[in-house]
Chains A and B, each alone.
Chain A
Amino acid sequence: MRPIIILTIVGILSATLLAVVEDLTREPIAVAKEQMKRKAIQQIFPFTFDSLNTVTTEKTTFYEAYNQENTLEGIAVETSTEEGYSGLIEILLGVSPDQKILGYKVLFHRETPGLGDKIDKPKFKEQFKGRTLENTNWKVKKDGGDIDELTAATISSEAVANAVVKGLEFIKEQYPKSSAE
């Protein structure tokens, strides 16, 4: 009987302690997550935004970045693909109000370190700037497209291009009027 009681007591003590810590850290964790997101969004925009408006739809989440005069300066959208070399790649894509790409940030990936993980390096990202759904052939150069693939990481490069296209389509669907064309 004694072992059962002791183990139960250990369990109860553990659970109590964890409940207290969980309670204490719940707020900071939520704040930290929010800050990470804000930081990520700030990184993809060349300007400093004043306020963010989050729009969640069935498919994804949009973040509208406004300046101090409350004009829309950019839209960020969460997009992803399962077609990475190691599966899921999540990207935060930023576009200007006329839906030209301003930049992106990789939120999650498991691509090969040193090869595929260069999808998050400035050199690769640079080429996406200013592209739109219409002005670009979204295949890699090897297949006759416009995207300069990473050496030894064609699959990762294609996956990013696909995710970006998906993000642009989300935005086109959500903001049909703001398109320049």
Chain B
Amino acid sequence: MNEALNIFTRGFVRENPVTKMLLGLCPVLAVTTTAVNGLGMGLATTFVLLGSNVVIALASKAIPNTVRIPSFILVIATFVTIVDLLIQAFSPELNQSLGIFIPLIVVNCMILGRAEAFASRNGLWYSIIDAIGMGLGFTFALLLLSILREVLGSGTIFNIPLVGEDANTILVFALPPGAFAGLGLIIAGLNSLEKKMGGKK
């Protein structure tokens, strides 16, 4: 059980895919303009990661090394398409705002990275824990960045206005450069927080 907890927290904090490993930055930077988008993208990615980790943990022994990567990509692409169809069917609003970024989860290197580095070498149980830990870590980072950007850039949070419609907001945070700056600030903040807390461990 201790090992499971270790795997879980590793994805969430110590090896957080976004703030530590800087993986899958395309969606991180692109969709984090609003908190709803960030959360939606994070959860969609978590679902895909969970699906691909489960299948790959179960099937990796049967898959020869030479076709490992194409098989993994095929599995991931299948789950992404499923998520895409489900979102279109049951959450058209989210579909409208996330649009083309859902199919692009396929090329999120975090997912292939977990398949290759973890799920293909570990059992089902640990792979599930790993997927949830990594997925929630990814979602957490996206949520943090998107809240920062939405509040500063648009003056709203989860689409609820914090200031009047005419108020001047820090527009740059809603634009692509703000994504880079915001991510940098968050990574710096988390690193310094970790350093301070490191003494207690």
Contact yes or no, B67 A3, CB < 8 A: yes
A178 sits at the interface (CB 8 A): no
Name the CB-closest residue of B to A35. Answer: B92
B88 and A32 form a contact (CB under 8 A): yes
Q: Is the CB of A113 within 8 A of B85?
A: no
Q: Are B154 and A10 closer than 8 Å at their CB atoms?
A: no
Q: How far is the CA of A114 from the CA of B175 in the complex (A)?
A: 8
Q: Is the CB of B64 within 8 A of A2?
A: yes
Question: CB of B70 within 8 A of chain A?
Answer: yes
Closest to B91 in A: A32
- Which residues, 165 to 200 on B, are CB-close (under 8 Å) to A? 165-166, 169, 171, 174-175
Q: For residue B171, which residues in chain A have a CB less than 8 angstroms away from its CB?
A: 114-115
Give how many A-B residue pairs fall within 8 Å (CB-CB): 70
- Is there a chain B Cβ closer than 8 Å to A43's Cβ? no
C-alpha spacing A122/B59, complex, angstroms: 53
Partner of A21, one of B59, B75, B82, B90: B82
Partner of A32, one of B64, B89, B169: B89
Count, chain B residues at interface, CB 8 A: 31
Given contacts A6-B63, A35-B92, contact A25 B78 (CB under 8 A): no
> Which residues on the B side are within 8 Å of A3 (C-beta)?
64, 66-67
Q: Does B33 contact A (CB under 8 A)?
A: yes
A11-19, A58-66, A95-103 - interface stretch:
A11-19
User: Do A11 and B85 touch across chains, with their CB atoms under 8 A apart?
Assistant: no
B108 at the interface (CB under 8 A from A): no
The contact sample of 30 A-B pairs, CB cut-off 8 A, is A3-B67, A4-B67, A6-B63, A6-B67, A7-B74, A10-B59, A10-B63, A10-B67, A10-B74, A11-B74, A14-B77, A14-B78, A17-B78, A17-B82, A21-B81, A21-B85, A21-B86, A25-B88, A29-B85, A32-B89, A32-B92, A35-B92, A36-B92, A36-B93, A113-B175, A114-B154, A114-B169, A114-B174, A114-B175, A123-B165
